[in-house]
Structure 1
Amino acid sequence: EKGSLAAPELPEFSGSDLIIGRNSHKFIPFNPVRIYCHKCHTPALFSLDGLIDEIALYDRALTDPEIEESFRCTFPGFEIMNYPDMDHRKLPNGQLGGKFEAYYTHLRYYDTWDNLSRFGKHCDIVVEFDENPTRFIFWRGMSFIPQITNPEHQWYNNQFNESWDPGGSWGEPMSDKKSNISHVRLIENTPARKVIHWRYAQIQINGTQQNLDKKTGWSDWSDWYYYIYPDGVACKRMVHWSSDDPESHEWQESIGVMAPGQTPESISDVYNNTVTLANFETSKSYDWSEESPVVLEADWETTPLQIQQINYKSEYKPFTIADFSGGELYGDADGRRAPYSRMVVYTHWPIGQLPTDGVRAIKADRTSSNGYTHLMFEGSDKKGRNWAQRHMLEGMNSMSIEELRVLAASWLHPADLKYIGGGESSGYDQSQRAYVIKILDKTVSFTLMGSEDHPIENPCFVLKNWPGSDLSELTINGRKVEPGKDLRQGIITDTDGTETLVVYTKFSATSPTDFHLDRQIKGDEITAEIAQ
């Protein structure tokens, strides 16, 4: 192919060891994206991942009838062929405990792949829920890129920060094949919410870090914080550090992840309302039934965009919420689709260990990923000299677009907190989907000015300087909320040694609502109630 990487001459095998199931010389992978990019594909050894049996060696080439006869004599039957004696390649989902909990674990995929990695018992993190059958998974097999899964084992993610080297490789955590740099940690774990910190670098496939400052030795990095609540909604505070302009880099891509045997068509409805984009007044759906929906970009160039829903073949579908400046169809760098799908599909990530940042799928026999859309931001919520911060809501749920509008409005246009007594309000912190209050007395009361345009939806309160280790008694409009699934609380210790009470309540309203919190309930009573 013109302009391609030069392939080495075929080696002379006489006098060398016979190798079956692995290439004897390093090559770049077959069907790469941007084959002209020398930095994007490093020649490597690759071995067969499967079973080989009935091997016979001949000193001549067999004829067609001889090959057919050999196949007939050794064919084991469709039962053995379709169900071989080998580990099923099913992406790991965790322990399925049925509780709202976050835990460290060691997720297993299948023996051959697991035996390659060198991680201990507490390398991965899973967050699951008691009222939503989805989960968030931070797994080394995905370079710890956070995934959302549903009961049908359909995986999804909203990507990461990605930057570019002009004419070279992409800088992204996908290229951290062994998770040498990318890592996660659980930094808050209470009945009210779970907070996960994911730190990663934008590295190229050859290990070079993007936008490396030779004077300081620092390059592009990201710190993303996931505030995950019992309703299955994660609020992401995304901080990106760069010597370049961090706002110009990529912050979102809608990515489906598939186990061997799955396709974009099997996890999502590619032919009917594949993607729905919406704001608070209008919505429009797109599909891949004919050609790629290129009109998507023009539809949202000047129209506000806040909501995206991917039509997965499940009751629980991926959603994404933020103040976006527009969207675009995901397109392959060289404009090609998978031969078995109407969409672009890749196999270089996840799971793959080959040093390449782009390989197109030929068949659905490997773990793979596909792209739906890119959603763009304009400006940042906060910005410094070499960093920018943006926010996003995401998850999988059974909400309609109209219900997602309510959730979006409660976060993007939250009800004002007024008439506070016993505390000092810092207002609504969109980056953690919570109202922040400094406690000045043993009790605190306030009013959330809910309305149709500023709805209250499962609010969270972060009460700093909370006196002591006791939890609170909550009343809403004078009615006591019983501890349990409608009221979840937990105490964390801040870095200054003071206590902070985090309160989550399952409550919705579109009118002014009075809240009163009183320090009365012991912590062990709350734990017992939730366990029941």
Structure 2
Amino acid sequence: MLLSKGNLVLAACLAVLGCKDSGGSGEGQALESRSSQVDLSQASAGFFAHYTRVNSVDIPEKITGPYADIIVNLEGKGKLVFARDHSYRPVWHFGNNSNPVAHLADISSDANTRFDKSNDFSYVRILEQSDEKVVIHWRYFPKANATMGRDPEGVVHEIYTITRDGNVTRLYRPGTDTITDWDVRRGAIIQTMRLTENGIADVQNKSGELQAGVSQSNGNAIVNYTPPGLPVAHWKFDEGKGTSTVESLKSATGYIDSHGGDWIAGVSGSALFFDGYRSAVVVAQDEVPIFKEALSIEAWINLAAYPWNNAPIIHQSDNMGNEGYYFGVSSDGKLLFTVNGKTLISDSVIPVNQWVHVGVSAEKNLSLYINGVLDKSQSYDVNLSTPDMPMIVGMNNSPLPATDGVRESELNEFNHFSSIFGIEGAIDEVAIYKHSLTSKDFYDSYNGFLLAQKKAPDPSFTKRQLPDLEKYPQKFGGIYTKLDFHDAWDNLWRVTDNEDIVVRFDNKPISYVYWRGTSHGMNLVTDNRWMSDQSVELVIPDPDDPETPVSVNPIVSLAEHMSDKAALRTHVRMIENTPARVKVHWRYAAADVFDLLVMDTAYIDEVHTIYPDGVAIRDVFYHPAADEGGVEFYQDFQWLLGPGQKAEDFLNYNAVSIAGLKGDSSDIIYPISLDRPSDGADPSPLPGNIAVLNSQTNWKVFGVSQAGGFFPSANEESSEHIDFLGGIFPFAGPWNHWPIAQIPSDGRFSVANDRVSHFAVGNLEAFEYGSGSMMYGFTQGTPVDLQDLAGSWISPPVIDAVQGVKDNAITFITDERAYSLTSDGVSGDISLLVKANDSSPLVNPSLIIRQWGTSKTPKVKFNGKALSDVKLGIIRDTDGSQTLIVWLPVTATMDSSIEIIRDSVGER
């Protein structure tokens, strides 16, 4: 998302100094205040794993939150620690001794120090834990830099399965050049060991590779048809497997450079699928025909999306076509042919997701054909000069900028850059001629093929679409999974089956989704409508400005989670996953599209606490701003459009309704333009800190800020190519430089509805108030229906301790929407008095009861009545102690009582 002029200033202020919070109490800021002192020399009773922060003189605490590290406690034997001071390499602590596990990767620095200095690219997660085993995932780059991280062989994943008796199975999985090798775990090692009171024992290694199955060819039946005339080269792509393809007439070899997964069913036999970022077929110059006076080409193509700029079906050129020939597709889906600097572009647009026959004839005229019909022609005497370079199918050989960049005239050098890309889709049956084909030739070729096949060719691959969430059960809880988008995109990455997180709810078709495709940011999804959000967004100031602090790195760009397109510095973890709540930790860095940090401390920790009622609190903590009281810009309602979706499919012009804590709500009718003051300052927001997004779905997304107002997105920055109900697009966007896209751009307007894109409707003034947290959720009502819920969070009722609370201290943690207290360890049961009223209502409260001291859950009463639908969970706090989480589905506007009754005192 791009910032308005006013927000640019705010973001620059944040990047340099951090901007002070302007209001709110900021009680109980979870991320900055809670750090645990952990004794690693002694193991506690029990077998369990927990998140914590192991303090170290070497680690800059400024850039890490309370959940940075993991400790696995083993039954009094010791602690297996995954901590930052070794870039999360596990170290076995037994008594006063420690023993790190041996590195299996080739680490370029001292193995006993942290090789990833700031733990930029390393992380650990607890994937699973029970009474019998704990499963930990460690991801790292052996050469800890962004360049190596983009190399598919530059990543390593390790999975540790630790059992109660101290046995460990370690699966080491290095990245592989192709997805084919990744799927069979090429280079993997399975290591077993025992953790004992005397150290690590019985270490054994064996191959962890899986036996590759028999390679199966992918293809339809071969269609017997005769190309017109006599081609000098015919690339049929009928091998169906392998990493090369052979031309059928003179046996020239084309070498396939790709991530794998190239072969699909074609119009005849098999075809090649191109991912748009790496896939190419390269044929050496001495194996391709030489053209001088005439040239014709025909091919079948099936576009998954239109390219970012011109992309070739086949070419032997300097990429710009100034020398040689270039037959391809433009960014708006038109067929084009360039020969020695002269270009012809079709009038017609090639449709996506279907096989299309395309052709060009070049001699006295340049003529383009689509499905056997002449589309466009012009006079031009061809005099080919073939450059000294190979012939390439599907990929450019030099960088181009994507078309339709935002702010190109103002900040092009900093915001929209060139890269090498190609066709995204399939290519089959490429025939090349040294003479000019006639209109009849192209007509006969297209129709002759259809007659021979006896039907139109099938699409051959699944259409791209946002991940399907309905396969996950409607039961409250978080799920580690790997969300699928499309094979060609999914194959770009070497990730485990636990890359993403989906949180589902009891009997409600709603989800919170943390997906690599959206840089792991939070998405609220219902009826396949995705609402995403902004992150901390920063403009990096000019390093040559004398007022810019030396801590700012010497680059000028825009930094946000959207810039991390390869998810190098972003990850998500479930800190809690119980029936009472799910707590998701999202960590990312403020880096630009070239993976450069704003400054060395520019990291953000967000903790999202999600409750069974579908309400989540998003706590945002930007570390450089910690001393100044909070964060600034991070919230912006952004809808995602899947391929083929349009905004009018689920929105009307009254796209947002807003209200305050009291009074009526009002609709915002788009397009809207906020009046700017004459002095150029930011316009005032519309009053209201509760916003409901009026999607045409049963459940609607809402947001609540702690105070302030709502800034609607004006359509001053919107695509001229995308309409809304036949008129101008009324919102900001849509842009398709994010999500999914891998181009180095922080602003590119959509030119069609062919890709995943996003558009913005506005933001709540979350950045000026409170402790850096926002409320989100789903509703079937209006903003007025949410006023009590919002009030219970913004102005929560006081709860007094009657019995069983240490020091009678109860604190409301705004950033978790929960009351925090500690059991006194004496009284057993806990009694509380809630002082609720109309101004401070109680709505579905949550209790965090620390030092609970047992794995047994209690009975809960509200106003003397036992609750059957209360949700309870036992977690390990950052100090390893047992903590009880209670979520009560109750409401009240008068004094009420809560009782927590232990079944038995045991296990203390």
TM-score for both structures, normalised by structure 2 = 0.51
1:274 aligns with 2:655: yes
8 A Cα contact 2:690 2:702, kept in partner:
yes
2:511 pairs with 1:135:
yes
Q: Is the 8 A contact 1:91 1:109 kept in 2?
A: yes
What SS is found at the alignment partner of 2:432?
coil
Partner of 1:352: 741
8 Å Cα contact 2:857-2:873 kept in structure 1: yes
Q: Note closer, same or farther for the CA distance 1:73–1:265 as it changes in structure 2 (3 Å cut).
A: farther
Match of 1:386 in 2: none
2:417–2:744 CA contact under 8 A, matched in 1: yes
| Structure 1 runs not aligned, ≥5 long | 1-6, 213-217, 382-388, 524-532
Aligned residue for 1:372, secondary structure, equals strand
Q: What is the aligned partner in structure 2 of residue 223 from structure 1?
A: 605
1:257 to 640, 659, 684: 640
| Aligned length, in residue pairs | 493
- Give me the whole-angstrom Cα distance separating, in 1, the residues matched to 2:904 and 2:391: 73
Per-residue Cα deviation, 1:370-407 (whole angstroms, up to 9, x for no partner): 111122236443xxxxxxx4111112232322221121
How many Å apart are 1:58 and its aligned residue? 4.5
Q: 2:779 aligns with which of 397, 401, 404?
A: 397
Q: Quick one: which amino acid aligns to residue 448 of structure 1?
A: V
Show the counterpart of 1:97.
473
> Aligned equivalents of 1:32 and 1:63: distance in 2?
39
1:326-358 per-residue CA deviation (whole Å, 9 max, x = no partner) reads: 332325785544433413201111111112111
Q: 2: distance between equivalents of 1:504 and 1:53?
A: 58
Supply the AA of the counterpart residue of 2:656.
V
Report the secondary structure of 1:191's partner residue.
coil
Does structure 1 retain, via aligned residues, the 8 Å contact 2:710–2:763? yes
SS in 2 for 1:242: helix
SS in 2 for 1:520: coil
**Which of residues 480, 485, 491 is equivalent to 1:115?**
491
SS in structure 1 at match of 2:520: coil
Which stretch shifts more, 133-142 or 278-287? Answer: 278-287
> Any residues of structure 2 matched to 1:390-469 within 5 Å, and which?
390-418=772-800, 420-423=802-805, 424-440=808-824, 441-469=827-855
Query: What is the alpha-carbon distance in structure 1 between the residues aligned to residue 405 and residue 533 of structure 2?
Result: 23
* Residue 177 of structure 2: aligned partner: none
Task: Tell whether the 8 Å contact from 2:536 to 2:590 is kept in structure 1 after alignment.
Answer: yes
CA–CA distance in structure 1, aligned partners of residues 685 and 738 of structure 2: 34
Cα separation, 2, equivalents of 1:34 and 1:447: 57
Which residue does the alignment assign to 2:391?
Answer: 18
In structure 2, the CA distance between the partners of 1:222 and 1:363, relative to structure 1 (3 Å rule), is same
1:235–1:432 CA contact under 8 A, matched in 2? yes
Comparing 55-64 and 469-478, the one that deviates more? 55-64
2: distance between equivalents of 1:154 and 1:361? Answer: 18
RMSD of the alignment, in Å? 2.9
What is the one-letter code of the residue matched to 2:596?
T
- Among residues 369, 380, 387, which one is paired with 2:758 in the alignment? 369
The aligned residue for residue 673 of structure 2 is 294
Partner of 1:43: 418
Task: State how far apart, in whole Å, the 1-side matches of 2:498 and 2:774 are.
Answer: 28
Letter in 1 for 2:658: L
How far apart are 1:297 and its partner, in Å? 8.4
SS in structure 1 opposite 2:666?
strand
- Percent identity among equivalent residues? 28
Pick the aligned partner of 1:163 from 538, 561, 565.
538
CA distance in 1, matches of 2:443, 2:541: 51
CA distance in 2, matches of 1:339, 1:305: 30
C-alpha displacement at 1:68, in angstroms? 6.8
Could you tell me how far 1:438 is from its partner in structure 2?
1.5
Matched letter for residue 201 of structure 1:
A
Relative distance call for 1:141 and 1:16 in structure 2 (3 A) is same
- Residues 8-34 of structure 1: per-residue CA shift (max 9 Å, x gap): 964523232222322222111111112
Alpha carbons of 1:30 and 1:65: their partners in 2 closer, same or farther (altered >3 Å)? farther
The worse-fitting range, judged by mean Cα deviation, of 111-120 and 276-285 is 276-285
Q: 1:293 to 1:521 in 2, by over 3 A?
A: farther
Flag the 1:166–1:35 CA change in 2: closer, same or farther, 3 A. Answer: farther
Deviation at 1:512?
1.6
> 1:481 maps to what in 2?
867
Query: Residues 471 and 522 of structure 1 are in contact (CA less than 8 Å); yes or no, is this contact kept in structure 2?
Result: no
Corresponding letter in the other structure for 2:523: Q
User: What is the distance in 1 between the residues matched to 2:414 and 2:522?
Assistant: 26
Contact 1:325–1:378 (Cα < 8 Å) also in 2: no
Residues 99-141 of structure 1 deviation map (CA, whole Å, 9 limit, x = unaligned)? 1111211112111111111111211111111132211111111
- In 1, distance between residues paired with 2:890 and 2:766? 30
User: Which residue in 2 is equivalent to 1:305?
Assistant: 688
Aligned to 2:810, the other structure's residue is in SS state: strand
State the shift of 1:497 in Å. Answer: 3.4
Match of 2:699 in 1: 316
Residue 602 of structure 2 aligns to which amino acid in structure 1?
D
Change (3 A) 1:181 1:277: same
Provide the C-alpha distance between the structure 2 equivalents of 1:248 and 1:499, rounded to a whole number of angstroms: 32
Out of 888, 893, 896, the position equivalent to 1:505 is 888
